Every structure is written in C-alpha cells, then in structure tokens.
Amino acid sequence: MLRRWTRTLLAMAGMLAPGAYAADLCPAHTHTLAFFNGVWNTPDTAASGARALLGALDEALRAHPARATLAIGAEVFYNASGLQRGTREGIEDLVEVFAQRAAELDDAVRQRWELFWEIVDGRLEGWHRIAAVLPRARDLAVALTEARNARLLAHATSFAAAPPTGIDYAAHRLRLRALHALGRGVLLVGHSQGNFFLNGAYRAQPDPAALAVVHIAPASARASGPHLLSGNDMVIAALRGVVPGTPPPPNLWIPPSTRDPSGHQLIETYLDADRNGRSAAGALMADRLLALKAAEPRASPGFFTATLAWDGDGDIDLHVLEPGGAHVHYGARVGASGSLDLDNTAGHGPEHYHATCDPQRLQAGIFSVGLNNYAAPAGRKAMLQIATAAHGVTRTVQVDAGPPRGEAGDASPIVLLRVAVARSGSAWTATVH
C-alpha cells in the first residue's frame, strides 16, 4: 500500500508540467510520419524513403494555413524482409528478357514498351495483333507472363512460409504506444510489403483517432486507409490471381520510366519529382494528417527515451542507472539527467523514461537501462525499446522477465541495454549497446 501511495504522489508531481524541460536537443514535433518500408530495403534506403515522403508531404502542406502550427518528423518502422536472401529475386530481369527476345522477333517490337506493360497488367490485345503478323510473338508473351507470375509467386509464398516474427510486430506496436503517450499525431505510410506490417501495428492500437494511414503500392488485400497504386506497377499487377487475396485496384497512372522499369519503387516512381505520383502522394498524406486528433500527452520527449512493456498482468518496473550515480525507478522518478514519467502497476505497460533535452542537465556517460520483475507472474516476456530524438527507434530487445523479486530486486535490476551519451563541443550523440 505504501508503495502504491508513493507512486501516486510521484505520478501527480511528474504530470504537472510535462513540457517544462528545455528543448534544445529535441525537436518539438507535433506529428510523426511513420514509414513502413517495402522489401529489400537496407536501413539507409528505408531512411531515404522516409525523407522523400516527408518532403512530398511538406510540399503539399506549404500553402495550407495550418502549416505554421505543424512540426512533423519522420521515423522508419523498419523491417528487413527480403534481405536475408542476399540477392534480389524480383522481376526486374524481365525487362532484359523482353528487350532481348523482342529484338529477336523484330527490332521495332523491342521499342514498343507498351507491350511490356500489357504483360504486366495481364492484357494481351497488342500481342494478339502482332501475333497475326509474327506468330512467334505469342510464345514470347506467354513466356514472359509465366516468368512474371513465377517470380512473384515464389517471393510471396516464401514470405507466407516464413512471416515476420511476433517480435517484429510487437516492436512496431510498442513505438506507436510511446508516440501516443507523447501526444503525437501519427501518420502511418506503408510501401509495398511494408503495408503488411502497417496493418498489424494499426489494428492493435487503442486510439485510432490519433492515427491515420496511407497505403502506397499496397501488396496487402486488407486496407486500413486510402491507397495510391499506379496502373503500371508491375509488381502489384503480378500479384493478382497469383497469391490469395486481391490488392486494391489502381487509381493512378504514372507514366513509365526507364529509371524504374518495374513501376513499383517508392522514390524512383511514386515520389519522382518529374511525374504525377509525387503530388498525388503528398496530397493524400496531407489530407489524412490534417484530420488527425492527437492524444493528450502523458509523457515527455527526450534526447533518448526508454519504453518498457510486457505481455500480461502484473508489475514490472523500468530502471535507469544514470552516469552520475542516480538510480531512476518508481521510488525515485526524477534523476539528474532524466525522469520516469510513466509508471504502470497493473500490467502490460508501458513504462517510460526520458533523458532531458536540456544540454545543461544532460550528462555524458553510460546510462544502464533494465528492469525488475516486482510482482508479475514468472514467465512474462518483457520488451525494452530505446529511441533517440535524432533517429527514432535504435534498438529493441525482448527477454524473459524472470521470477517476481519485489522490492528486494530494486537494488539489482537486470540491465538489458546501455546508452552511451557523448558530447563534442555543442554536438551530442547517443549510441546503444
């Protein structure tokens, strides 16, 4: 009882002025664009996609009277699907096959790329006309169609056979819960296979009013919001009739380009500044973002933040050992460099710690972040996530929280991650180990 009363008093004190800290090291974002990347993205290419989306959104908002009140950041909700195969097993090589085989028929056919897009879209009217003059054209059309379907089917079935683990989805959901606690309006944007991850994260959130969704080139038959799909996106077209479910219908025609013969890539096609997809994507994102109703903030942003959640009832505590010796937890929620601003005793979490954004208070050194199972059943799985003001989520780990240890465990929490904060002149960095 004493512990619960202490927690209540500290919670009231911590909620009085969540924005009272200086924000020198932290951008004061009102909204976050959460990008769910498609297949074959490295972290760097996914980050480039997020920046390109943010640029298109900013262009669409420039003339809007509400633009001055918005501060929008972007984060990557990363997945590494496809990279484990080491090479691209996509259908880009169909372009080379078309060029080579068509040239064998007639060089004029090789120049007629509309025939290639007919293959992609499952239409063969032009091929039938040419086959009346060049009978071998029918064989080429059939071969290309079969090759297209085989490549997409192989990739789609391998994804279904080895889907993302529950940890992947749980990490995305936990970050959305943290952003909700910060009072952010969140625009979720998925590209290609990233829409599968987006749907999983979106459907688990308790407050959909603070979230909005835009699907770009969706491979998923399920939709959580409006979509943008070009009629000559060869990847999505190839999925029709090949895998269970049907992607949504095309609602835009982006002129073909040799820069991206597949018509599917995010930056090279949908956000290409020289074609119509970029303005369409920007307008759709702006419309959805402006309709958001952000939640009331319950936590504060930080130079870095630590968020803890677990998979059931019971009390698991977040602990942070600061470089100067302060031990931040439920019994001492304010440290020298940060505060525990969310404490949960009932179950599931989240608990949340933020390192100060004030460079006069932030300490350089090692922040050790961990947990103590205070009163949760043995076997609970706990997830700890570190995010930085500059880069969003940098590390997520899931562990067995161990047996309940009560107050006896407060002095020796299980350290899961260490955040090294360093300063060079006026520049600060945070590296997670």
Q: Are residues 321 and 231 in the same domain?
A: no
Return the HEC string of 42-91: CHHHHHHHHHHHHHHHHHHHCCCHHHHHCCEEEEECCCCCCHHHCCCCCC
Last residue of a domain, one of 291, 320, 339: 291
Residue 238 within any structural domain of the chain: yes
Split into its structural domains, the chain has a count of 3
Residue 243 within any structural domain of the chain: yes
**Average pLDDT of the chain, as a whole number:** 83
Q: Are residues 126 and 189 in the same domain?
A: no
Arithmetic mean of pLDDT, 48-60: 98
Between 394 and 96, where is the model more confident?
394
Residue 7 within any structural domain of the chain: no
25 three-class SS: coil
Residue 18 within any structural domain of the chain: no
Confidence of residue 131 (pLDDT cuts 50, 70, 90): low
DSSP H helix total and E strand total for the chain: 11, 15
Arithmetic mean of pLDDT, 120-125: 50
Nearest alpha carbon to residue 216 among 245, 163, 166, 252: 252
Q: Are residues 360 and 256 in the same domain?
A: no
pLDDT for res 104: 54
pLDDT for res 255: 94
Return the HEC string of 321-361: ECCCCCEEECCECECCCEEEEECCCCECCCEEEEECCCCCC
- Neighbour tally for 58: CB within 10 Å: 15
Residue 257 within any structural domain of the chain: yes
Percent of the chain with pLDDT over 70: 74
Angstrom distances, CA of residue 31 to CA of 83, 180, 423? 30, 10, 28
Is residue 380 a contact partner of residue 342, using CB atoms and an 8 Å limit? no
For 358, the domain range is 304-432
Last residue of a domain, one of 232, 262, 291: 291
Q: Are residues 366 and 283 in the same domain?
A: no
Q: Are residues 343 and 276 in the same domain?
A: no
Arithmetic mean of pLDDT, 27-40: 91
pLDDT for res 125: 56
Tell me which amino acid residue 360 is: Q
Residue 155 within any structural domain of the chain: no
Q: Are residues 221 and 362 in the same domain?
A: no
Above 50 in pLDDT, residue 87?
no
Q: Are residues 256 and 374 in the same domain?
A: no
Confidence of residue 88 (pLDDT cuts 50, 70, 90): very low
Nearest alpha carbon to residue 179 among 272, 265, 307: 307
Query: pLDDT for 343-380, tens place per residue?
Result: 999 999 999 999 999 999 999 999 999 999 999 999 99
Confidence of residue 219 (pLDDT cuts 50, 70, 90): confident
Confidence of residue 19 (pLDDT cuts 50, 70, 90): very low
291 three-class SS: coil
Q: Are residues 285 and 311 in the same domain?
A: no
Residue 161, judged by CB atoms within 10 A of its CB (0-12, 13-18, 19+), counts as exposed
User: What is the spatial distance between Cα 106 and Cα 21, in angstroms, rounded to a whole number?
Assistant: 71
Confidence of residue 41 (pLDDT cuts 50, 70, 90): confident
pLDDT for res 26: 94
Nearest alpha carbon to residue 76 among 102, 45, 100: 45
Tell me which amino acid residue 200 is: G
Between 203 and 131, where is the model more confident?
203
CATH number at residue 178: 3.40.50
User: What is the spatial distance between Cα 199 and Cα 32, in angstroms, rounded to a whole number?
Assistant: 17
Residue 427 within any structural domain of the chain: yes
User: What is the spatial distance between Cα 423 and Cα 364, in angstroms, rounded to a whole number?
Assistant: 6
- Neighbour tally for 164: CB within 10 Å: 17
Q: Are residues 349 and 420 in the same domain?
A: yes
Confidence of residue 221 (pLDDT cuts 50, 70, 90): confident
Alpha helix (H) residue ranges in 165-323: 166-181, 194-202, 234-239, 277-290
Above 60 in pLDDT, residue 6?
no
Q: Are residues 223 and 345 in the same domain?
A: no
- Neighbour tally for 337: CB within 10 Å: 23
Query: pLDDT for 246-294, tens place per residue?
Result: 789 999 999 988 788 788 999 999 999 999 999 999 999 999 999 998 8
**Structure-token pair, residue 376:** 């949760």
Return the HEC string of 403-416: CCCHHHHCCCCEEE
Q: Are residues 283 and 423 in the same domain?
A: no
Nearest alpha carbon to residue 184 among 203, 210, 213, 212: 210
pLDDT for res 244: 52
Question: How remote is the C-alpha of 217 from its chain's centroid?
Answer: 15
Buried b (16+ CB within 10 A) or exposed e, 23-33: eebbeebebbb
Q: Are residues 234 and 268 in the same domain?
A: yes
Is residue 341 a contact partner of residue 302, using CB atoms and an 8 Å limit? no
Least confident of 23-37, 97-111, 131-145, 218-232: 97-111
Residue 299 within any structural domain of the chain: no
Least confident of 69-73, 99-103, 201-205, 400-404: 99-103
Above 50 in pLDDT, residue 10?
no
Last residue of a domain, one of 229, 256, 291: 291
